[in-house]
Structure 1
Amino acid sequence: MGIEKVIIIGGGPAGVAAALHLQERNQISCTVYETRSEPTTLGGAIGIPSNGLRLLDRMGLSDAMMKKGTETSILNLHSLKGNEMGRMDMVSWSRQQTGFGYLRIRRTDLMDVFLNAARKVGVPIHFNKRLTRVEEKNDQVTVFFSDGTSDTGDFVLGCDGIHSSVRKLYVDPDCTPQYSGISNVFSLVPTSELSPVASSLDALNATLTSDGMFGISPATTARDVIYWFFSREIAMPNTGDSRDGWEERGKEEVDRLKTTFIDLLGEYDSLWVNMLRDVVHKTDVVKFYPIFKVPPGRPWHKGRCLIIGDAAHAMPPHASQGVSMALEDVFLFSKLLCHHSQHLDAPDHQRLDDLLQSYESKRKARTEQMLKTAERNGDIRKKKTPLRLRVNELALSWGLWAYGAIGLDKMGIGQKALAYDIEEEQF
């Protein structure tokens, strides 16, 4: 039986991108169901490197994204004393290979582009739909919601994030997301309220402290909004209800964040450190985000149901690959469906389950590689002594110098994963 209708659970980037691409590339009818009552306003700013931008371009969305976000491919490393210790172009080689660099965009702006595109082509997105059950019968899948409604299709895609209901209720009920030990506090602040130094930012800037890493970059095309985050080790709350525990811990972190960070900056007096103090002082709303990951090696499909994006392989954001990995999932699943439909009537055609096993094998190799990169990048956010901090600063400074001086960037060292093209994969 062919696949003519796909039900998508989750109205975030993965879900809406899947609906857009499957409808355009595969001529498949898609309906999206989202548990929230309206499009989410959660999140700060997202990084999308070359591999993700190339796929957005193939969807016809890169121009709209670039009009809202800003290029931030340069990484500048600062010391606590305020001096710049090194810089590098994170996508110098992958830009040459793909034609695309590194976009920083607010998550709300990213979703505006996706949702506008969905409205234009008539993709139905239903909100306030909490999934309660998934059932399969006679090559059909039915999903049931808490409001008493249901829908039936030929396939279900679970695109509902790290705490996925599709995964929990049907695909892999025994999977439990793992806390990484790192949490982010972050905010978006208009530059009109800040010093000229903040208004002139044109790159991703990192400052290491003994208690974590402070990052700051522009987040809009006009560079009139900056995104900052403080990424650090925080212990898991000791509570029976983890959700309430995180909310309580989040409030505690927000309440003492300004004092904590100002103390970490010490008494240094420089344009850079003074700017950081000013940004924190003038931040009114700070959000708290504990970073979880989905343990690798878990199943991603069952019958005619597949989880993709963060539902399958959520990882720390330290490699800026969350959206890009979801897009790669979408493109490979689209290719799987093309292969399935082309071989449906052949005497020796592969069964759908065989194709899904092949999909998992290809994607797990790729996403586990990215997970390792993200976790390595997360090490610098861990607590350290002042001596260890100084050693890390010197090591990173030397590494950034060597990267350009020796020409490692011209060899694609550290960037080859960003030039990967999912559409070259074959079934």
Structure 2
Amino acid sequence: MSKTKVIIAGAGITGPVLAMFLKGTGYDPIIYERTERPTNHGLSLALQPNGLRVLALIPGLLERIVGGKVEEIVHYSVLPEDLGELSRSDSPARAEAEEGFGVRGVRRTVLHHVLLEHAKDLGTPIIFGYQLVSLDEAANSVRVTFANGKTDSASFVVGCDGLHSNTRECLFGKQNPTFTGLVQTGGLSETPEELLTQRAVINVYDNGAHLTAYPVNDHQTSWALTTMELEARESWRVMDEEAQQKFRECSYSQWPFGAGKLVSSGTHIVRYGLYDRPELQAWHKGRVVLLGDAAHPTSPHIGQGANQAFEDIYHLVRLLCKHNPSAVTPSTELLSKIFTQFEDLRIPRTSEFVKRARKLGELRVVHGVEECKKRNNHLRQMEVVSLQDVLNNPFVAGYSEVSLVL
């Protein structure tokens, strides 16, 4: 008997992981990606306990991912009127010691390459240059048409095609992303000496600016500076060398605590606006469902974008295994039941993370000395970071309801 075919739209970070989960539970996934080849866009990701726990279910995957271990989270103020360390937490180290998973910084291009190669090694076709433009449902299948005129059909379709999701547009119409009012400029630097021994996420605060940085391997640090500015396109393309040099020489390059050295030595510098989208009340129609940024795009201030997408994958596949254990072609009625349970579980949780991320961005980037002092005092008094809400998600360590056979 032939396996149930599933089309995945999008070969970014989420699509290959979903493909490996579907492959390991008896389905036959194929990934279509609109770009002509894998891109080198994007800087880095912070893999947190919930995301790492999901990735660890895929045999041999974590061993291939080169990253930077994070043991602490430190907050500094560079405001001249309130200079110094605000707070420090060893919660990442404690999480790893107690639960087996902490925080790991990774370059996006490195992670992306590993995910694509691992998915291909496990037998998933990944087809580039195919942009989804329309969906047509039949009784037990979906026909997908691409911009190049080619078509394909599968039992069901999963949209993993990110903030600018064509799948989402096909299901729910065009919805323009909402600019949050914040812009980030980020880059990659050789780790300064004062940060080499910390193995920390550092957060640096000034009047109208915030920088976050973390190691992505044993000698490089990824960083992003957030400011409130006019809208900037989310292109993720590296600045030309003249623009990069101008930024390296800006006033932020004089910051202490290693932050200025990151800015002054930065490479691969990019500038991009931060966006989210209106919250959806449903993520599926018929035999098509969304997950990850296609369903719940978020600003990056909590670092949960990819990690929440991995939670999505776990729960969608868990529900498929529960309600369709033989992985045969499901009826539209059964898929609707699965997708609805998936939404009921995931929409409230991801919506809360989106709101929290936006609120945190607004807290970090405030203007005026008195407002900055208030922010700093808040950071001194608050729990620096709580990993509690991700520690035992999407399942308690050792009690996964999904077992992959790969």
TM-score, normalised via structure 2 length? 0.86
Separation in 2 of the partners of 1:92 and 1:199? 16
Contact 2:37 2:128 in 1 (8 A): yes
Asked if 1 retains the 8 angstrom alpha-carbon contact of 2:43 and 2:107, the reply is yes
C-alpha displacement of 1:250:
11
Deviations 1:279-336, CA, capped at 9 Å, x for gaps: 3222244101211112223421111101110000011111111111111111111122
Task: Find the counterpart in structure 1 of residue 313 from structure 2.
Answer: 330
In 2, are the aligned partners of 1:201 and 1:217 still within 8 Å (CA)? no
Sort the Cα spacing of 1:23 and 1:205 in 2 relative to 1 into closer, same or farther, 3 A: same
Aligned to 1:72: 70
Deviations 1:161-186 (A, max 9, x none): 01100111x21114332122222110
Assess if the C-alpha contact under 8 Å between 2:321 and 2:327 holds in 1.
Answer: no
Note the residue ranges of structure 2 that are not aligned, 5 or more in a row: 402-406
Change (3 A) 1:343 1:31: closer
How many Å separate the matches in 1 of 2:113 and 2:333?
A: 39
CA deviations on 1:57-92 (whole Å, 9 max, x unpaired) are 112255325x50022141111221663332012446
Q: Which residue of 2 aligns with 1:28?
A: 27
| C-alpha contact (below 8 Å) 2:274/2:299 kept by paired residues | yes
Q: Give the letter aligned to residue 391 of structure 1.
A: K
- Alpha-carbon distance, 1:16 to partner: 0.5
Alpha-carbon separation, structure 1, partners of 2:323 and 2:70: 40
Report Cα offsets for 1:17-63 as digits up to 9, x if no partner. Answer: 01111001x21111101111111211111011111111111122553
Asked if structure 1 preserves the Cα contact closer than 8 Å seen for 2:156 and 2:287, the reply is yes
- Percent sequence identity is 25
Q: Deviations over 1:192-250 (max 9, x none)?
A: xxx53254452111110111201222111xx211111101222336xxxx679x98999
Q: What one-letter code is carried by the residue in structure 1 that aligns with 2:173? A: P
Partner of 2:220: 225
Alignment equivalent of 2:283, drawn from 300, 304, 320: 300
* TM-score, with length taken from structure 1: 0.82
Q: Does 1:262 align with 2:262?
A: no
Secondary structure at the aligned position of 1:356 is classed as helix
**Alignment size in residue pairs:** 393
Match of 1:406 in 2: none
| Amino acid corresponding to residue 72 of structure 1 in structure 2 | V
Equivalents in 2 of 1:86, 1:255: separation in Å? Answer: 32
Distance (Å, rounded) in 1 between the aligned partners of 2:248 and 2:344: 45
Conserved? CA contact 2:179–2:274, under 8 Å: yes
Q: Distance in 1 between matches of 2:269 and 2:38?
A: 20
2:261 aligned partner: 278
- Whichever residue aligns with residue 30 of structure 2, its letter is T
Amino acid at match of 1:234: E
Larger helix share, 1 or 2: 1
In the other structure, the counterpart of 1:188 is 188
Structure 1 counterpart of 2:165: 164
Instruction: Check the 8 A contact 2:314/2:394 in 1, yes or no.
Output: no
2:380 aligns with 397
Range with bigger deviation, 111-120 or 156-165: 111-120
Q: 2:322 aligns with which of 331, 339, 353?
A: 339
RMSD (CA atoms): 3.2
Partners of 1:134 and 1:144 within 8 A in 2: yes
Q: Hey, what's the Cα distance between the residues in 2 that align with 1:139 and 1:176? A: 32
